[in-house]
Structure 1
């Protein structure tokens, strides 16, 4: 199984996951033209995509789903509340499939388990995606790491995890106070220190590839995240650590079985 974070941040989010002949997109906050360019940059033809699975209805995760679904005949999978909340923004899709939060489903070669996260949307989820040999966890847009999140991500070999903001930069930055409160709430976004503390626990178990994602352009800095990761994460464990970028696709990473 392989994956690539095609872009992550407030301007758009999309991740490609593939196994066998199955290629899924997790979300798509990019225009059709931008998505195609990012897929081509990692040598993937959009005509080979299989489906789109959706975490929640915020624009930076769904605004490009409708056009890509219609153009490439892709079914769209989301829970009922997210479908309803995103309907006006997404528009008509090729096929609409509903899953229940906490209920696993299969798309060809991939088994997907959606689990609840804590964010200010209708019914937000993260995913564990598996090909039966290895598993990728996807968990962004959550204000806290719950026991449920810990349970579902503990056996993942690879993980895309939010590291949205540095607490000091957020508190001293230009956001108005109500927005700062929203980001800091348990239904907001995950701070660097909370993200890395959690990742450190997982590295001591099975995690071997970590992509820190959804960095704020205003309240975070990639170099700061990398430095904190070097300082806080266990060394000598054979773990690859990457920071997802907003403006270009990340590397294609192979997940060890």
Structure 2
């Protein structure tokens, strides 16, 4: 059984569970150990069932629970060289743990015949990554925290049955919102975050390539709403006569609570 479940998703924290059989992978450690335990317990699993922790990058909302989580699981930590160096420079790497290097476009093998292909994304971090998980013919894509969609990232996500995709902000809400001008510029830069429109554009491409299910993640609390993200997707796909049911195939990751467990 292949399952994926976001634990938290947004600027206040990010963490996701990927399960294959009785093995689980944690993507990012931006939640509490208690929240992780609760999300596992609902799936009939526990901390001993976690075999790896994968980090996309070093920003606080993705690693704030790293210490307690790695001490609670004793799982190996996988991250890019740049991410590990940035965490080490900030004295945020828990001691006594096993760290494994991830390199973009070099697939690794994890328990339960789970393949993981890291790929580069465009964000203002040291060496950020997205991931494609594969088991046999089944593929799950994961990409958040990117200001643009690189050609190689688009290529890697092609063929995934389910994709978890950033849809961070609505441009009008960002322009009219309370953020200071430099932060607004950072968010909408090529090394910032993906807008609803850009996410819908990528989704359109992936739907044409056969993606079946999409989960929107990392929605901004201040500059987006689930309703606005859905509205943008519906308008974009309707204007292009795309035959794809949002009601059946599009989900949105909750910000502060775990999502349902979704098959992939």
TM norm structure 1: 0.94
Q: Secondary structure at the match of 2:105?
A: coil
Separation in 1 of the partners of 2:44 and 2:145?
Answer: 28
For residue 152 of structure 2, what is the aligned residue in structure 1? 148
Q: Match for residue 126 of structure 2?
A: 122
Change (3 A) 1:65 1:93: farther
Moved over 6 A (4+): none
Task: Measure the CA separation in 2 of the matches of 1:151 and 1:209.
Answer: 17
SS for the counterpart of 2:125 is coil
Select which of 149, 152, 161 maps to 2:165: 161
For 2:261, the equivalent position in structure 1 comes to 252
Contact 2:7 2:31 in 1 (8 A): no
Give me the whole-angstrom Cα distance separating, in 1, the residues matched to 2:44 and 2:225: 29
CA-to-aligned-CA distance 1:115-146 (integer Å, 9 cap, x gap): 00000000001000111221000000000011
Give the deviation of 1:197 after TM superposition. 1.1
Contact map agreement 2:121 2:128 (CA 8 A) in 1: yes
CA distance in 1, matches of 2:254, 2:150: 26
Equivalent positions of 1:128-207 (< 5 A) are: 128-207=132-211
Contact in 1 for aligned 2:108/2:117 (Cα 8 Å) = yes
Q: CA deviation at 1:189?
A: 0.2
Kindly indicate whether the alpha-carbon contact (under 8 Å) linking 1:119 and 1:186 is maintained by their aligned counterparts in 2.
Answer: yes
C-alpha change, 1:93 and 1:251, in structure 2 (3 Å) is: farther
Contact 1:101–1:125 under 8 Å retained in 2: yes
**CA offsets, 1:47-69, max 9 Å, x none?**
21111011100011111122211
Distance (whole Å) between structure 1 residues aligned to residue 177 and residue 165 of structure 2: 23
3-state SS of 1:189 partner: coil
- Segments of structure 2 that go 5 or more residues without pairing to the other structure are none
Distance apart, 1:93 and its partner CA: 5.3
Q: 2:145 touches 2:194 (CA, 8 Å); kept in 1?
A: yes
> In structure 1, how many angstroms separate the alpha carbons of the residues matched to 2:75 and 2:67?
9
Query: What is the distance in 2 between the residues matched to 1:72 and 1:236?
Result: 40
2: CA distance, partners of 1:55 / 1:73:
19
Does the 8 Å contact 2:5/2:262 carry over to 1? yes
Secondary structure of 2:228's counterpart equals helix
- Going from structure 1 to structure 2, the CA distance change for 1:230 and 1:214 (only over 3 Å counts) comes to same
TM-score by length of 2: 0.92
Seen in structure 2, the aligned counterparts of structure 1 residues 228 and 194 have a Cα distance that, compared at 3 Å, is: same
List per-residue Cα deviations over 1:90-123 (Å, max 9, x = no partner): 4225311112222111111210000000000000
RMSD, matched Cα: 1.6
Cα-to-partner distance string for 1:188-228 (whole Å, 9 max, x where unaligned): 00000000111011111121110000000000011111222
Distance apart, 1:80 and its partner CA: 1.2
| Structure 2 CA distance for partners of 1:67 and 1:90, relative to 1, 3 Å | farther
1:70-85 alignment to 2 at 5 Å? 70-85=71-86
Q: How many residues align?
A: 255
